[in-house]
Structure 1
Amino acid sequence: MSLPDPSRQLLPERRRQRLPGFLYSRPFRRVFAGWWIAAAASMSSFAAVSFFNPVLGALTPELQAEYGWSTASIALTMVIGGIGGGVLATFVGPIADRHGPRMLLFVSVGLVAGVMAALGFIDSLWQFLLLWGVGRGITVAVIDIAVVVVIANWFIQRRGSAMGLTMIGTRSGMMIFPLVITAGFWLGGLREAFLLMALLIVVVGLVPPLIMRRRPEDVGLRPDGLRRSGRRMDADSAPAAADDPDWTVREAIRTRAFWLLLFGTTMLMVVGGSVNFTFVSHMTQNGIDADTARSALALWAGMGIIGGVFGGELRQRMAVRYALPLVICVTASAVVWFILTDTVWMAFVFAVWHGLSFGAQLPLNRISFPDYFGRYSVGRIRSVTAPPQLILNAFGPFVSGLVIDNRGSYDLIYIVFVGLLLCAAFSVLLARRPDPPARMV
């Protein structure tokens, strides 16, 4: 069996990079540099949450009260962001593969903070749609892809654990941003909420990406921190192809597993985005006050931290093909409970139940394609899978908004979501990992 082309793993000697100096100091060098990079990716993921559906859902009641906008009108911004993000993703993936995530994340986090601050000064719907759509597009197309690429490249055997670490940032953001929104409302209103979130994005997410490097081989290390001989890594010390398959985009899309995974993970994004967006609105519609609903949302996100770590560790013990369908089925059962939720205690039970299962689902979803098709083209593969995922993820909340505006209830759409989740679980279960490409045999 031949090894992957070394040019896809190593930078030329004259372009070799160094890690930031502090990572060579005694307290830091005892830990594999990939874990510090994963921690930085976690902080970038935290910043990206500012334009995720739960945050928009937490803002929706106040936007409706102040401006009189319908749920569907507010959700339309997700469509704009999803379409824009889908187009942007086709360019971001190859750039992340070739040049790494460092500047992509640094510039993107800065732009996201600026857009969030600008939202504090809007006075019409078109301004909100434009700005939130831009912020949403950047977070889902640039930050999310860059994080997946860097984790996939620095880890193989411990990829699940590393992705679980990034989920701490994601779920912490989902827990903290709704509380920041509430604090902003107490201080004065929507403007204060947007400005506080912009400040938090800068403080947490702007600087950490600067420590990132494209791949461990670029700084003379190996994935997972495996020992090496000599100062630099050469082609003979590359990971075995059986552990890290080397698929091109064209080879991957010709496999049955690619399309089964794409369908399953896309359905997860459709349902997840819609349920997260309607979290607060569904509870307030059922008689639970908005502050309590946002508190339940914060608990849901906190449970997601535990779930995210659990999902990453579950991958270490079970193939994604089996782990992800298992978690999806638990998530589907939580959505059934959500349909019936009309009291405070039921809301907090749902927050724990769905928070744990949805949190576990996220890292498994993110590492599914790298686990099947390897790390060398993960950005390019994401540039193919992300557009349909992001566009359909955006239309889910919009359709949900139309349903609630016309029927006055979310029950019907949630029943459909349960069916989609079960279809997604079955699709992933059928996705047998393909044999390596013929050129590698």
Structure 2
Amino acid sequence: MIIPKYAVKFRAAAFVFIVVLVMAGSTSYMGMPREGAPDVTVPFVTVMAPYEGMAPSEMENLVAIPLEKQFNDLHNVKEISSSSMEGMCVIFIEFTTDQDIDEALQKVKDKIDMAKPDLPDDLDEPTVDDLNVSTDIPILTFTLSGDPSLERLDNIAQELEDLIENVPGVRQAGVSGSLEREVRIEVDLNRLISYRIPVSAFSAILLGENATVSAGNLDTASGQKYQVRVPGEFTHVHEIKDLVLGIRGGQPVYLSDVSTVIDTYKDRASITRVNREPCVTVSVMKRAGENSIAIIDSVKEILAGYQLPDGIKLTLTEDQSKDIRMMLAELENNVAAGFILVVLVLIFFMGGRNSLMVALAIPFSMLMSFIVLSLLGITLNMVVLVSLVLALGMLVDNAIVIVENIYRHYNDGENRIEAAVNGASEVAWPVITSTLTTLLAFS
């Protein structure tokens, strides 16, 4: 084989290669993003269409069926399923594994636009998202507790959410367990009938007044053009109560005359407690391929620098950086332990110099792996770390075979250079092919 021959002939170049390998490998290892799970995008697309106040049967007929009719024309689809519940419709679309997920997302959004003529006019815009293990699982979760007022806790959580989302690499920070404000209008049908106002007209007037309307453009004498908009969205509850529904007997009929307006909160979808105290939970998700440890450390700095009011307690309930650091420490310990054990065991059979050559195969091979992984944009995650640990044994086996064969040639009377070239060349292809068969078994 030509590599052992040239490595011995040009020893200075081989030494320079080793130095570059150590420097580049160490730099790649230090710069690789750390995360718990690999960036795996499952070929699933979810469509969520909220429509408050609708029963499950109405959600199916008004939302699910029109959307499914359009989705049936999509290509590379294995299965479409939907779940309709009160005020919400969720549609799951499973694509084949060869389908590009970004292209699939765009096609689904196009189909939703095509289905809009068959959907209710007041339906909120459906949201489309894919399933990604790396970005959908929170890397850091903490709770705020200590105050009986969830509204106060929610205000603090919202402030922290805005600060955290400015951290580079953070995809989203979500708040759960908090109270969401809701203005509820309870209509008195008897009064509505007495004023001869249809329910449909009541709803149309209410929706029409709570909207910002574009009034066109305004051209000035100086040639400047301004866009004119008339803001009409409600900002206070009294604006809703004073809304005029019509004129009866020369007197205006206000919304408060036929209904009761209640400024309250939505029914909570989840209730969270920590140490038996009500709390608000904040979850931090990262972008794909970002460094989880660096992001978590930056978020912790923000939390440490935020001045919490007296009595408010912040509790970390989930911190992936601890697990990732532990996995990295285990990898480093396995490499060090493998290096030491190989030297100690082989020193009795092949001598100190030969055992050292075998042991050096471990860090050099690892450093080369880090260079390749970094160039391919692969993060240092649980799957990569487990694979590297499994590969340690195979690295030692290959090194022992090559060094032992070189040692045999040397004992047969060949000089060091001939033994190195002939011994390595003789077993090079068997070692390479045996390694490839192992790789194919795991691929």
* TM-score, L = length of structure 1: 0.22
Higher relative contact order (CA 8 A, sep 6+): 1
Higher helix share goes to which structure? 1
* TM-score, L = length of structure 2: 0.22
